[in-house]
């Protein structure tokens, strides 16, 4: 019985067949692969089906790609099967008027948090941090129609109704705040943004409400929008 003839091998550059012990391609002069291990077997299988072979480097590259895909899939599966805690998504920064950054307020994904409680409006100074010396609150009843002043040493959240450039004058901002009071919005007032680190400087900010949490402030947005301020949003006010 005659010995079975070995299938020809092909040059990785030009695709011309060559003999098993041939070192260089007689057609293009390419040095022929001498590795007869796994890469050599795979190269032969490739060349039997396709005329062009990129070179033995293709096999480690494909192996690296496969490992990367498996690692990515494992990470996705691990992330999707993680804990069932509350998912918080930070809203992207938006503008406080043209070109002015607005404080981002964390918002829960639908169904992950209970409904926000009804807004609670403070009637005195905001509480101090634990350990801070306590002082007796001294409040003087404001005259009817007076605008609300932001607590001198307090930080919290509010509904920003409008932002007017300082060049427009305080009276223009105060007029908008009085319109907010007439619309029934709580604690309408005006503050100068330059006095607060969390706000973009250079504006009179017309606000409504002094709240302890962003959820309380967000609950008051519907009334602000219905009261003639469709662009109202929640902002943090800190000194």
Q: What is the pLDDT of residues 95-127, one digit of tens each?
A: 455 555 555 545 545 555 555 566 555 555 555
Q: Which pLDDT value is given to residue 156?
A: 92
- Model confidence pLDDT, tens digit, residues 193-218: 998 988 989 999 999 999 999 999 99
Q: 0.85 cut: is pTM over it?
A: no
Highest mean pLDDT among 48-52, 81-85, 118-122, 135-139 belongs to 48-52
Look at residue 226 and give its three-state secondary structure.
Answer: helix
Measured between alpha carbons, how far is residue 182 from residues 36, 145, 186, 191, 214 in Å? 89, 9, 10, 19, 24
């Amino acid at each position: 019985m005659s010995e079975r003839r070995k299938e020809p091998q092909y040059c990785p550059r030009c695709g011309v067949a060559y003999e098993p012990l041939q070192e260089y391609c007689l057609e293009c002069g390419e040095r022929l692969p001498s590795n007869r291990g796994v890469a050599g077997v795979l190269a032969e299988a490739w060349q039997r089906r396709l005329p062009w072979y990129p070179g033995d480097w293709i096999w480690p590259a494909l192996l690296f790609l496969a490992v990367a895909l498996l690692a990515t899939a494992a990470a996705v599966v691990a992330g999707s099967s993680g804990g069932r805690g509350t998912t918080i998504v930070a809203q992207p920064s938006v503008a406080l008027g043209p070109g002015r950054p607005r404080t981002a307020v964390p918002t829960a994904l639908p169904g992950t948090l209970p409904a926000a409680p009804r807004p609670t409006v403070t009637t005195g100074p905001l509480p101090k941090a634990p350990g801070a010396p306590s002082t007796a609150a001294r409040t003087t009843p404001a005259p009817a129609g007076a605008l609300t002043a932001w607590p001198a040493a307090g930080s919290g959240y509010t509904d920003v109704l409008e932002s007017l450039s300082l060049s427009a004058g305080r009276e223009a901002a105060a007029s908008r705040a009085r319109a907010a009071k007439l619309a029934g919005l709580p604690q309408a007032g005006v503050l100068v943004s330059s006095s607060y680190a969390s706000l973009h400087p250079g504006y009179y900010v017309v606000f409504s409400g002094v709240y302890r949490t962003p959820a309380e402030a967000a609950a008051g947005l519907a009334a602000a929008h219905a009261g003639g301020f469709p662009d109202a949003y929640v902002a943090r006010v800190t000194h």
